[in-house]
Structure 1
Amino acid sequence: MTEAVCLTEIWLIKDIVDTSYGSLCTGMSMGWTSPVFPQLRSDNSPLPREPTLQEESWIGSLLVLGGLLGPLVTVPLSNRIGRRRIIMGSNIPLLLGWLLAGVATNLPTLYAARIMWGCATGMLFATVPLYIGEIAEDKIRGSLSALFLLFINVGFLLAYAIGPFSTYWGLTATGGILSLFYVPFTWFIPETPFFLVYKGKIDEASQVLQKLRGLSKDVVQTEVDGLQALVAREFRVEPSVKDLWATRGNVKALGICVFLAMLLQLSGIDVLLFYMEELLVKIGTRMSASDGTIIMGVVQVVTSFITPLVVDRLGRKLLMWTTSLGLTIFLGLIGVYALLDSYFKYNVESWAFLPLLCLIIYMILFTLGVGPVPWILVAEMFPVRTKCLASGIASFMCWLAGFIWTRFFREVASSYGIYTAFWILAICCGLGFIFSISPLLPETKGKTFDEIQDMLNNRTKEPKPVAV
């Protein structure tokens, strides 16, 4: 039995890895800007002239704007063609983006490439957490969901590590080649049992569950019957937007997930990842910007290995308030350092290690809590009927907040000082801390879907009669 369980976990993790491989490719496209911006200002740039500050801001932020297209694709199609086909289909804009970036000789082509990458990223962010939530068991759901973030961070590290030692075209070609492997990786992943039952493919759903759970057909029949009952109950009529406010629990879950998804971006993660080399120079660190960026990428990846081990042990609420408090403190410290260094011109030579140290701790804390928890909650908090729509809305708002901030961060830093920009990030994280310690954020660790719904709707279980 133990051998069967181990084999089952291997199959499940393999499917999650295959599914999350696309996030490695999109992570590389997101981190691409950090080493590429210095190259766009060099003599080896593919562009006819050096881009202006505003043009560079558009190059950085248009990926996030493209992310808004992802939910617009996934929400109407998810219950029609399935999660698997959307995950596979996300490779189309991803590959198109690498192709456009590879042949770009002007800014509009580069803009189009960034939008395509953003569309692919938005599709994956809206679908992969949903997919994982539907194939994983309750006790390991959070841990497996955290693997999605791990692969994103591996992609960032690849961009950071290859970019400084390669040409513009070498880095872009590497990203395109890695993305070509995305289709064979996802070709063999199964469709989720829920979607198969939803489409009336009961036997196929049973076969998938037998493989995922390592159990016989008779044993998984109970889960199949539960899915059939769920579909019959929740999908008597076609889902609509009105379902999101049909119950108090849905409204509360949507508010929580949208707020935390926006906090994820307002904590400044995309700003730091897109402009890492530039920021390390601006805040006054004395280390080589490329070396510092690689160190940050390694920290992200190492911490991502730890996240699956703690997310189902420490709980979502504890991780959120501790990490958001930490982000508030260390972003504030970076702001103080930058104020003393760039505005008051104090001699901070003896503290030159502080900005990089604070950013390293920032990455650790973000990767442990503020980064993965919102997407885990999206997969946990919503009834099946509204999950696709809610996931799309949370993802849309996440990308909208990210676009606004990545577009204007550098202009805020240029006009009011880099310290002001970091203090704004610290204030946003402080709001996240206040929200996380309040009763507004419930704990969902280890709870079944029904238990989570009872908690969100303030329902109490009927006490069982005491035997006399």
Structure 2
Amino acid sequence: MSFRDDAVEDGARKPLLHKGSWYRKGSRQGSMLGSTAQLVRDSISVYLCVLIAALGPIQFGFTCGYSNPTQDEIIHDLKLTISEFSMFGSLANVGAMVGAIASGQMSDYIGRKGSLTIASIPNILGWAAISFARDASFLYMGRLLEGFGVGIISYVVPVYIAEIAPQNIRGLLVAIAQLFLTVGIMLVYLLGLFVPWRVLAVIGMIPCTVLIPGLFFIPESPRWLAKMGKNTDFETSLQVLRGFDTDISSEVNDIKKSVASASKSSSTVRFSELKKRRYSLPLMIGIGLLTLQQLSGINGVLFYSSKIFASAGVSSSKAATFALGAIQVIVTVIATTLMERAGRRLLLLISAPTMAAGSILVSAAFFLKDFCPEHLHHYLGVMSMVGILILVIGFALGLGGVPWIIMSEILPVNVKSLGGSVATLSNWLAAWIVTMTANLLMDWSKGGTFALYALVSVFTVVFVKLWVPETKGKTLEEIQASFR
């Protein structure tokens, strides 16, 4: 339902309810009004914005998955060692760390759209460098450029979506970014079955090449515009996002109060002030979740699953890897639909134990392989494949997308750039550690490697139980106020 402004009583506007549209009255009643069909109709602008912004996560996924199906070809064509290829795979994370450091300040100064535009350019240049590579140096340069762009994208996209979304579908919409990331991974796995690695790099340019012009057709984040004092643009952006027949006055007031409160507290937060609970707790939660997400070993699996499957005795390792990517997309779709029903916290408490169980199963399969007769190795290969499948399903259910959602929701406006950059940096640092060490750890002990990943997943359960709050159905202003 929505309110119209065509009735006036005592010189003031008197809103009239009419059927077929949706209105959020205040910050608590939005999720109770309107049917799903009405919500979709009146939020069509938001969905279009999310679909365009989600081209960034597709690029993110393509970058994450690229080293998996191309490993043997690149090593053969460019005469690389395993260590050199591991360096190539991990350099995306190094570039992403630099991008993460820049992402918060950049998105604060030039906006969310401007940051995504800048992030797209090194991605395109990076893929071009890889496609023309004749030695390791061009591969490394291209991977670093890609990583820099992806590091910015990984922070800015969830923040932008969280800031434009209505409260009762915010989790769903931010989860779409994770869904498109898995789509990007699946696409690179699929195309890697048929396309040479140089052509695959050229295809990798497409998402960001489309994203740049697409950004001209979507509004800037209303909350960023309000923070920058652009009140006319802020209200116009919010009206476009909510629909022209929707009364946005309550939401405008909520955002203005939040921005004014943040400005009054401190326009720039000093490091010495971060010890205050209102900053330290959300920072700890954001950094902790994004670090544990990567230390669970997921990048080691996604980057090198073909090698893992081959080591386990799976005959068609590339096809198995594509099946893994497809299942990840399907499970992410399910998790996305559950985001506003089950809540963020419950999904994490299902996700982490599932990942632990999968890692333990893979670890057991590899340990048993050293002691079992050779005719049983086929069954142990199936066991390890099932374990990896369970691990990836668990990741897609919660730990893949929920940490980014929570990070984008809990950080106060005046610490979002600093906190978001630090949290994203910690994520990429952990990703670099896992990606760089995965091949080396596998050579040391495949069973021991997955045992370590299982321990991290168990600790994640403890972390979520003790510190992570539920943010479902609350406005960003309510969530941030709860830490005071």
- TM-score normalised by length of structure 2: 0.88
> Aligned pair in 2 of structure 1 residues 59, 200: CA closer, same or farther (>3 Å)?
same
Aligned residues: 448
Q: Residues 3 and 454 of structure 1: is their aligned pair in 2 closer, same or farther, counting only changes over 3 Å? A: closer
Separation of aligned partners in 2, 1:9 and 1:135: 10
Determine the structure 2 residue equivalent to 1:305. Answer: 333
Note closer, same or farther for the CA distance 1:246–1:230 as it changes in structure 2 (3 Å cut). Answer: farther
CA 1:178–1:197 in 2, change beyond 3 Å: closer, same or farther?
closer
Please state how far the C-alpha of 1:453 moved relative to its aligned partner.
3.7
Aligned to 2:296: 267
SS in 1 for 2:204: helix
Aligned to 2:130: 101
SS in 2 for 1:41: helix
- How far, CA to CA, are the matches of 2:273 and 2:294 in structure 1? 23
Gap runs ≥5 in structure 1: 458-468
1:369 aligned residue: 398
Is the Cα contact below 8 Å between 1:282 and 1:418 reproduced in 2? no
- Residue 453 of structure 2 is matched in structure 1 by 425
**Alignment match of 2:441 (pick from 386, 397, 412):** 412
Counterpart pick for 2:58 among 2, 7, 24: 24
User: Residue 369 of structure 2 contacts residue 380 of structure 2 at CA under 8 Å; is this kept in 1?
Assistant: no
CA distance in 2, matches of 1:352, 1:248: 49
Q: What CA deviation, in whole Å up to 9, does each residue of 1:169-188 have, x standing for no partner?
A: 22112112343212122221
1:221 aligns with 2:255: no
Please give the alpha-carbon distance, in whole angstroms, between the structure 1 residues aligned to 2:100 and 2:206: 26
Equivalent residue number for residue 41 of structure 1: 75
Give percent identity, aligned residues only: 29
1:351 CA displacement: 4.4
Q: Is the contact made by 2:56 and 2:207 (CA closer than 8 Å) also made in structure 1?
A: no
Match of 2:346 among 298, 303, 318: 318
Contact 1:143 1:312 in 2 (8 A): yes
**Letter of the structure 1 residue corresponding to residue 402 of structure 2:** V
For residues 202-281 of structure 1, the aligned pairs below 5 Å read 202-216=231-245, 219-236=247-264, 237-242=266-271, 245=274, 247-281=276-310
Rounded to whole Å, the distance in 2 between the matches of 1:344 and 1:204 is 68
Which deviations, in whole Å up to 9, do the C-alpha atoms of 1:156-202 show, x marking residues without a partner? Answer: 11110011211122211211234321212222121011122223322
Distance in 2, matches of 1:244 and 1:259, equals: 19
| CA root-mean-square deviation | 1.9
Aligned residue for 2:190?
A: 161
- Aligned partners of 2:230, 2:119: CA distance in 1, in Å? 24
CA deviations over 1:180-226 (Å, ceiling 9, x no partner)? 21212222121011122223322222222112112447x21332233
Residue from 83, 101, 107 that aligns with 1:78: 107
Rounded Cα–Cα distance in structure 2 between residues aligned with 1:240 and 1:3: 41
1:456 aligns with 2:483: yes
Given candidates 222, 238, 243, the residue that maps to 1:193 is 222
Contact 2:131 2:199 in 1 (8 A): no
Which residue does 2:26 correspond to in 1?
Answer: none
Q: Which amino acid aligns with 1:111?
A: Y
Q: Does 1:437 align with 2:465?
A: yes
Alignment-mate amino acid for residue 230 of structure 2? K
1:124 aligns with 153
Where has structure 1 moved over 4 Å in runs of 4 or more? 342-346
Q: TM-score, structure 1 length as denominator?
A: 0.91
State the Cα distance separating 1:243 from its structure 2 match.
7.4
| Aligned residue identity for 1:223 | E
Say if 1:331 and 1:358, in contact at 8 Å, map to a contact too.
Answer: yes
Which residue type is aligned with residue 49 of structure 2?
D
Could you tell me how far apart the structure 1 residues matched to 2:143 and 2:419 are?
Answer: 25
